[in-house]
């Protein structure tokens, strides 16, 4: 398997492959950068990857995204990601994850992501100190959803000239921990929801609770809505799906929703304002980094994402580049300033 010549290898500092047959563990930890303090933070994704290649690609891309996100919000750590290939989520598997993380001796601090929960991290934490958990623990999914709401509303203001979300239609892809919390925030502000998920129970719950309209997973791209909100997995926007979008704004929580950098240009060419993932979903990282800060302090930081997005849009206009490229440019500058190296 190619690593150093992999298209998504970006000078990663450290890529580890862990195997523990007795627990059914196959895990890749990609550490993109360790920041000025010699440590990297990132989530643990447990997903039925179709191949090892797919898992490696996800680990490399998600860890790079994490470095950029943390730099953008000026957290002095690098980015990393753990991806676990399938396997049933038993206590024994979580213990094996903890032991593997422990072997990295603090270079990687693990948190939950798709397929794992804060409760799973409590189990992992019985086997390693290097778990992102505070007491009282900040709910990262709720903070992520609120941060998306802030960015989505700022984009609607900028692109549609609307001061609030009353009557704005939003097509939400993915009703997991973040997607559902976002739907509640949107419904409370009078937005109209069109929703989908691979899990029909989650769809039924959201329809029942919030009066959302349900559509089949593949149909979400064709919905006429002011906003398309990707809150599932990555790679959903590409040459096949972007031409189908009937929205003015794309703003959601998913990491790496764009299959390739050129997709950002395709969205801009269609006049669609894209709120980069490293801005829109930074609320979870902010919550994790906020420790025991009072809720009103965290809320003020999350509200500050609107100003960050404004700065990104201004930079995109100034440099004649996409909002994604502008966000990455600012993030790299901030990382270099913090770490004293690129």
List binders of ligand NAI among 122-151 (CB under 6 A).
Answer: 140-141, 144
The one catalytic residue among 26, 69, 81, 89: 81
From 7-15, 158-166, 167-175, 334-342, span contacting ligand NAI (CB under 6 A): 167-175
From candidates 223, 255, 323, 324, binder to ligand NAI by CB under 6 A: 255
The number of residues that bind ligand NAI (CB under 6 A) is 27
From 29-37, 108-116, 155-163, 312-320, span contacting ligand NAI (CB under 6 A): 108-116
DSSP 292: T
From candidates 127, 137, 202, 315, binder to ligand NAI by CB under 6 A: 202
Distances (CA, A) of 286 to 24, 72, 85, 282, 327: 33, 11, 27, 6, 17
- Give the ranges where 84-160 is alpha helix by DSSP (H): 91-103, 118-124, 140-160
**Quick check: 63 binds ligand NAI (CB under 6 A)?**
no
Phi, psi (rounded to 5 degrees) for 136:
-75, 140
From candidates 57, 61, 177, 192, binder to ligand NAI by CB under 6 A: 177
| 69 belongs to the catalytic site | no
> Shortest CA distance to 108 belongs to which of 69, 129, 85, 80?
80
From candidates 63, 65, 123, 173, binder to ligand NAI by CB under 6 A: 173
Q: Which is nearer to ligand NAI, 217 or 304 (CB)?
A: 217
The three-state secondary structure class of 24 is: coil
**Quick check: 311 binds ligand NAI (CB under 6 A)?**
no
Q: Is 19 left (phi over 0), alpha (psi -120 to 50) or beta?
A: beta
From 21-29, 124-132, 195-203, 325-333, span contacting ligand NAI (CB under 6 A): 195-203
**Quick check: 231 binds ligand NAI (CB under 6 A)?**
yes
Contacts 24+ apart (CB under 8 A), 212-219: 212/172, 212/183, 212/187, 215/171, 217/173
Q: By rule CB under 6 A, what string of x and - marks binding of each residue 260-299 to ligand NAI? A: ---------------------x--x---------------
Q: Distance between CA atoms of 333 and 110, rounded to whole angstroms?
A: 25
Buried b (16+ CB within 10 A) or exposed e, 219-255: ebbebebbbbbbbbbbbbbeeebbeebebbbbbbbbb
Catalogue the active-site residues.
81
Footprint on this chain of ligand NAI (rule: CB under 6 A): 113-115, 140-141, 144, 173-179, 196-199, 202, 217, 231-233, 253-255, 281, 284
């Amino acid at each position: 398997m190619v690593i150093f010549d992999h298209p998504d290898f970006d000078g990663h500092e450290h890529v580890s492959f862990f195997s523990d047959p007795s627990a059914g563990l196959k895990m890749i930890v990609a550490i993109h950068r360790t920041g000025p303090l010699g440590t990297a933070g990132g989530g643990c994704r447990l997903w039925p990857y179709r191949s090892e290649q797919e898992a490696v690609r996800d680990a490399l891309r998600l860890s790079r995204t994490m470095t950029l996100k943390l730099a953008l919000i000026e957290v002095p750590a690098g980015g990393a990601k753990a991806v676990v290939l399938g396997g049933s989520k038993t206590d024994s598997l979580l213990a094996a994850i903890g032991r593997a993380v422990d072997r990295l001796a603090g270079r990687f601090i693990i948190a939950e992501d798709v397929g794992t929960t804060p409760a799973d991290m409590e189990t992992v934490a019985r086997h390693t100190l290097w778990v992102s958990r505070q007491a009282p623990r900040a709910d990262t999914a709720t903070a992520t959803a609120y941060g998306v709401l802030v960015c989505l509303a700022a984009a609607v203001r900028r692109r549609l000239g609307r001061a609030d979300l009353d009557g704005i239609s939003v097509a939400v892809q993915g009703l997991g921990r973040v997607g559902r919390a976002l739907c509640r925030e949107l419904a409370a502000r009078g937005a109209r929801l069109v929703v989908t998920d691979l899990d029909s129970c989650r769809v039924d719950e959201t329809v029942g609770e919030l009066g959302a309209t349900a559509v089949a997973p593949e149909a979400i791209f064709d919905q006429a809505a002011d906003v398309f909100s990707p809150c599932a997995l990555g790679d959903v926007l590409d040459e096949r799906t972007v031409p189908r979008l009937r929205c003015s704004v794309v703003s959601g929580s998913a990491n790496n929703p764009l299959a390739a950098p050129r997709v950002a240009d395709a969205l801009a060419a269609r006049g669609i304002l894209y709120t980069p993932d490293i801005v829109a979903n930074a609320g979870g990282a902010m919550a994790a980094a906020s420790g025991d800060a009072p809720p009103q302090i965290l809320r003020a930081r999350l509200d500050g994402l609107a100003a960050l997005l404004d700065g990104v849009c201004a930079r995109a206009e100034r440099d004649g580049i996409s909002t994604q490229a502008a966000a990455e440019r600012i993030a790299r500058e901030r990382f270099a300033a913090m770490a004293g190296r690129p």
